[in-house]
Structure 1
């Protein structure tokens, strides 16, 4: 724990160590964990020797209570089946259209009105209202992904900003599951689970809330019929007929992936945009060029035409990836491309957060928010996925990547023309809460200024 005397966050300490390593790889002996920021190693782990680096039993055991046999917690045949099923569904026109319509409706009917209710006009004097943008974005994302995953509207972003027992339980399972991995020995949390005390008792109670809610939804859907519905649960029901627990695990996994990562990505985006008004104005300029003066919301095809917007989202994810690191476990002894020896059963981690801050990868301006690094002659150019593994890469590359980017870009395209969103303490170094995805401790307090005054 000596790192806490110098660094605010563990991920920044790892970044420091990896930056000073000649190979971009370090080994934390007490954790039996090899951590790398070397793109050649990442390609080796995620693609070349994919079969030798599964999630592994240590990882799946930690999340078994929460994710069960869901796609993010399994290897082998379970993973292959869900991967094939999800690839067909998430790539379908039906799901993409349903997702886009759901996102745009939530933006227009809830997100914009909530932001406007907390905003002040451009000519306003003193601004006293402070809004936790991270909380708003998490509510938005939970609504969206519950609708997409279950066909359920939890109403977290209604004007009263109600408390949701399901959302709170969902958050608690994420937090407490992540804390399991931070124990010096897994025996600590396993003993607490056996005796049902402390954090393990809270985790069991929260898991039961999520599981019972999902089970009830599945039961109702079976009774009502699902053939004409477009949510993922209904689509998967046609493929999994006799195992509702397995079905529940699958859908909860997709809810986790969509909700937590999108909210984290958008929180990081607006924290960066607040400090970069030049980028903000460039986004507004592009939106005006593509949409014109009379159109308020972009179509799906218009979002794809916005190269600068796409670049800003990718650039923000480089600096604030929703998943800061990801680990695998070696099936057999191996040697990474940089010469690092990996022993059978040891943990191997690649670190997107650190990789986004490496001069060797991104150049001397790696700490700057510079969307232009993604553009060539004004057109967006994708980077090597193994130097930018924000969406993983290789056989396990994120199937929801396009939907996640659509979601983020839709929110940015809706809020940036209407509001100036300014972080209250722009020079404050963010502190992250331990968890499966990036969460700012204390939220993201902002002041919102409405660009267009309503006529009276």
Structure 2
């Protein structure tokens, strides 16, 4: 039976490849010449998507910005449609005004279920509301904020700064993207589990949990690129190829998380109910609140590891690249950092308005999550007049919106933090936020990111600690541009090689 299924899968793949060879080249020429992609019976515009797979974010961004309504209807296989939009009114419609009519949807849930389970970022309805309520309470506590500050500062001063100092001394080339991911992974594991994977120690060890987590996230996201979900589902049943690797990676991640949960429960039992010791990591908080269902707790904590690790590291990777490309902005950031150099730990970043604005401007160009998708629960009509059938997927394109002249004006291509600022009476900068539906980098509406302020606090502390002492200089060929790829967050393909140079006072 397994052999027959394998042969059928092989035959289908071969036939699909033959058709692809004949049609993909024409799609490349038509889309590159400024036309919208052609749609064919059964497969829709999948061949255009496959031909542009390596540049999917930029390609879909071009389609969105080319459309007069800033929304594009993509024809999926078997007659399905997916809307890509950069229209703020549509974003507000699906994320707030008509929130109850749009959810994550069955496709997203089943595709990411192995890694995210029933965690907050993968569910809808009552389950989402319940987890949101718990998380909202925990994220609002002063003790958690203080714990986060301590964790970040310890990782920065005890690991990151010494590592960069040694690299500067040796004139070594580091992969800054990898370094920032290690930093963020150590941080979020301490915050979520109270566990230190020590990924950023001097030898830069390959931590199995981090490696398995990466593999699971990458393989789960790649499922979205297939024309028919049945293809990865058949592979999963047969236990072959990428699905076999995914099953192993997810199993290892969840087993490791389960062991930590067991250890944490045992630790709490040993402390006893009369212990005066405060538990500060998220896992301890959830367990102390009476949430003892093991799989539920694991799902929540894995979700926060994914969010806390990938988003901040992605944002900072592109930030350091853009600072190098815009030295006048870097000079202004460094000037502000040095003005705050005598302030207490973490107090120095609260009033760093220009630095805050430069981070927002960086994420306008390179949002950590460039695309996010919702699914219609019922028929609807979008503000731009597009009729929606139940089950239609709508993707709001944060990457395209950050490049929209209609939103940001004729100077949209300039890296200009000043667009987020205004001068106040004292001649100091005051930050001026943007409409979250125009700038949905942290989502908007009821699902707006709970960790937004915490993320800014961490990023500004890292920027302050690094730029006060060092310059980050890309070690790339002149004229070479990094390539953006997306798994569950945006990344530089192949990493971000750079040298670390001591900053001259």
Q: TM-score range by the shorter chain?
A: over 0.9
Q: Secondary structure at the match of 2:498?
A: strand
Matched, 1:424 2:470: no
2:488 is aligned with 1:445: no
Counterpart pick for 2:239 among 196, 205, 208: 196
Are 1:62 and 1:180, in contact at CA under 8 Å, matched by a contact in 2?
yes
- Deviation, structure 1 residue 290: 2.4
Of residues 354, 357, 360, the one that matches 2:406 is: 360
Question: What secondary structure sits across from 1:368 in the alignment?
Answer: coil
Using structure 2 for the length normalisation, give the TM-score. Answer: 0.85
Does residue 168 of structure 1 match 2:211?
yes
Q: Which runs of 4+ in 1 moved over 6 A?
A: none
Of 344, 349, 356, the match for 2:395: 349
TM-score by length of 1: 0.94
Q: CA deviation at 1:319?
A: 0.6
Among 330, 333, 352, the alignment partner of 1:306 is 352
Which residue number in structure 2 is paired with residue 243 of structure 1? 293
Q: CA deviation at 1:322?
A: 0.5
Does the CA-based 8 Å contact 2:473-2:499 persist in structure 1? Answer: yes
Contact 1:43 1:386 (8 Å CA) reproduced: yes
Distance 1:317 1:161 in 2: 28
Matched residue SS, 2:315:
helix
The residue that corresponds to 1:323 in the other structure is: 369
Report the RMSD for the aligned CA atoms in angstroms.
1.6
C-alpha displacement of 1:291: 2.5
> 1:124 — aligned with what?
none
Q: How many residues align?
A: 443
Counterpart-to-counterpart distance in 2, 1:430 and 1:361: 25
Residues in 2 aligned to 1:385 and 1:394: alpha-carbon distance in whole angstroms: 8
Give the deviation of 1:434 after TM superposition: 4.0
Q: Answer yes or no: is the 8 Å Cα contact 1:179–1:434 preserved in 2.
A: no
User: 1:250-298 CA distances to partner (integer Å, 9 max, x unpaired)?
Assistant: 1100110100111101101011011111111101111122234xx6xx5
Q: How far 1:424 moved relative to its partner?
A: 2.1
Deviations 1:97-118 (A, max 9, x none): 1001100110000001111111
Cα offsets for 1:319-368 (capped at 9, x unmatched): 11000110000001111111111111010010101100110111112122
Structure 1, gaps ≥5 residues long: 122-126
What is the CA–CA distance in structure 2 between the aligned matches of 1:361 and 1:112, rounded to whole Å?
A: 39
In structure 2, what is the equivalent of residue 43 of structure 1?
Answer: 92
Where 1:51 maps in the other structure, the secondary structure is: helix
1:386 corresponds in structure 2 to: 437
Give the secondary structure class of the aligned counterpart of 2:72. strand
More RCO (CA 8 Å, sep 6+): 1
Matches within 5 A, 1:331-346: 331-346=377-392
**Paired residue for 1:25?**
71
Out of 19-28 and 226-235, give the one that drifted further: 226-235
1:148-167 alignment, distance < 5 Å: 148-167=191-210
